[in-house]
Structure 1
Amino acid sequence: MLAMRIEFFHDVLSCWCFNASERLRTFVSAHPQVEVIHRAWPLGTDRTLFTRLFPDPKAAKHEIVLQHWGDAVRVEHEHRIRPELMMSRDFDYPYSMPAQRGCKAAEKQAGQQGHWDYFDRAQQAHLSDCDNVADPDVLTRCARDVGLDVNAWLRDFEDSQRDIEIGMDLGLAKAYGVVRVPILIADGRAQLHGDPWSTFGYRITAERLDAWYADLARARQTGRF
């Protein structure tokens, strides 16, 4: 069995990361020697990003939810993403940083597994429950739901060190040449980015993940990785 350190670059807002996280969890359960390191790659680093890309917040929400979420719905294994529900909500499409800070605060308290559990719960809040994941109350509820010490999580969430940690992940992503997520990077070298799907994400299938791992195992056996 091939031991490997996989860096998983992701954003809570990404519907493609929602699917990739599910598949990666299944993969790791079959390959427990694989270590997953979670990296923040926020699509929207401030509230103005989507208004710079789109004519107005309403247009941004309309395209992202109906087009990109809709594409993900058509290929997901079970119906978890709910575009119609999100379009019924009266808030603008959220930006990434609050939820990314929440993930880093979870990591501070509970390590990589805590980051992953919180990330998945926040994605559920965003894509299934269609809550506003830029709202601290929603993010706090996610912390409670995954069993974190909420008071400690709140202190860590508000600590400016979280922004430094996110910035470090972004610097690493730039060095790797990451341009969209989800992306997996094995041992700092071999990338799996899946098929480009919509504008904002890659589609990583279980089959592609298994084939990538098998390729790396053969490459290591022959001294090429």
Structure 2
Amino acid sequence: MSAPQIFYIHDPMCSWCYAFSQSWAALQRDLPHGIDIIYLVGGLAPDTTEPMPPATQKMVQQAWQRIEQTVPGVHFNWDFWSRNTPIRSTYPACRAVLAAKKQRAEAEPEMIRAIQTAYYQQAKNPSLPETLQACAREIGLDVETFSEDLKSPVIESELQQQIQQARSMDVYSYPSLRLVHNDTVFPIAIDYSDHRTMLDEIRTVESGSGSY
């Protein structure tokens, strides 16, 4: 029997994933022994170089406002909107996470944090390669290798594969959690403020008393 797996399906430029980061860190810390943690990038917005339309900018800004109002301790640097030309493209940031992992497995969560810090706290634009390269440098990656990997067919193939895997688990919004236990996929409800509700749900499934 294979070990249970918890899949965290995310996008590094998803504001709700940023809002979930503290709760997710607490959940990982307290997970029952023997559960493998696997990250999947969901690919929120495909490649484009076009500026983000005003309606989309408004939608994203409303999400930031909702998060600040509902998730304790989460704040955004609103200077992003005046300092940048926003681009609705998260695939480059997703590839950056995969390229980081290719160099060093533990660099995967480090790159996610670096992108979120650059975007949400430092008002930098992670749709741009120079921002992603700065993140790679910051977490100690070989930037030249990282830049090559970012454009490589291998990383593109991995991105598409992870997006498809997320879809096969019926995931269309981020963040999402899926527990795979005894070859069955269980959705775990996201809780932004208390990781213990998710922990209880995981333990219930593990004990075999889940009502799924």
TM-score range (shorter-chain normalised) is 0.7 to 0.9
Residues 1:60 and 2:64 are matched in the alignment = no
Alignment of 1:16-31 (within 5 A): 16-31=16-31
- Equivalent pair of 1:12/1:126 in contact (CA under 8 Å): no
Residues 1:213 and 2:199 are matched in the alignment = yes
Name the structure where helix makes up a greater proportion of residues. 1
Q: 4+ runs of 1 displaced by more than 6 Å?
A: none
- Equivalent pair of 2:98/2:108 in contact (CA under 8 Å): yes
3-state SS of 1:140 partner? helix
Which residue of 2 is the match for residue 15 of structure 1?
15
Which residue of 2 is the match for residue 110 of structure 1?
104
- Equivalent pair of 1:10/1:41 in contact (CA under 8 Å): yes
Aligned pairs, number: 205
User: How far, CA to CA, are the matches of 1:119 and 1:152 in structure 2?
Assistant: 18
User: How far, CA to CA, are the matches of 2:189 and 2:120 in structure 1?
Assistant: 21
Task: Decide whether aligned partners of structure 1 residues 90 and 142 sit closer, same or farther in structure 2, where only a CA change above 3 A counts.
Answer: closer
Q: What residue ranges of structure 1 are gaps of 5+ in the alignment?
A: 195-203
Structure 2 counterpart of 1:205, which letter?
A: Y
Which residue of 2 is the match for residue 99 of structure 1?
93
Give the alignment partner of residue 70 of structure 1, picking from 62, 65, 78.
65
Q: What is the Cα-based RMSD across aligned positions, in Å? A: 2.3
User: How far, CA to CA, are the matches of 1:45 and 1:193 in structure 2?
Assistant: 26
Q: How big is each residue's C-alpha offset from its partner over 1:32-56, in whole Å with a ceiling of 9 and x where there is no partner?
A: 73432111111111228x98xxxx7
Task: Decide whether aligned partners of structure 1 residues 216 and 12 sit closer, same or farther in structure 2, where only a CA change above 3 A counts.
Answer: closer
Task: Decide whether aligned partners of structure 1 residues 134 and 214 sit closer, same or farther in structure 2, where only a CA change above 3 A counts.
Answer: same
- Equivalent pair of 1:40/1:169 in contact (CA under 8 Å): yes
- Equivalent pair of 2:71/2:192 in contact (CA under 8 Å): no
Give the alignment partner of residue 81 of structure 2, picking from 87, 105, 115.
87
Which residue of 2 is the match for residue 38 of structure 1?
39
Which residue of 1 is the match for residue 187 of structure 2?
191
Which residue of 2 is the match for residue 144 of structure 1?
137
Cα distance, 1:106 vs structure 2: 0.4
3-state SS of 1:178 partner? coil
Structure 2 counterpart of 1:68, which letter?
A: A
Which residue of 2 is the match for residue 199 of structure 1?
none
User: How far, CA to CA, are the matches of 2:56 and 2:4 in structure 1?
Assistant: 38
User: How far, CA to CA, are the matches of 2:134 and 2:107 in structure 1?
Assistant: 15
Cα distance, 1:75 vs structure 2: 2.4
Alignment of 1:134-173 (within 5 A): 134-173=127-166
- Equivalent pair of 1:182/1:193 in contact (CA under 8 Å): no
3-state SS of 1:9 partner? strand
User: How far, CA to CA, are the matches of 1:37 and 1:149 in structure 2?
Assistant: 24
Q: What residue ranges of structure 2 are gaps of 5+ in the alignment?
A: none
So what's the TM-score if we normalise by structure 2? 0.86
Determine what percentage of the aligned residue pairs are the same residue. 21
User: How far, CA to CA, are the matches of 2:59 and 2:198 in structure 1?
Assistant: 32
Task: Decide whether aligned partners of structure 1 residues 217 and 130 sit closer, same or farther in structure 2, where only a CA change above 3 A counts.
Answer: same
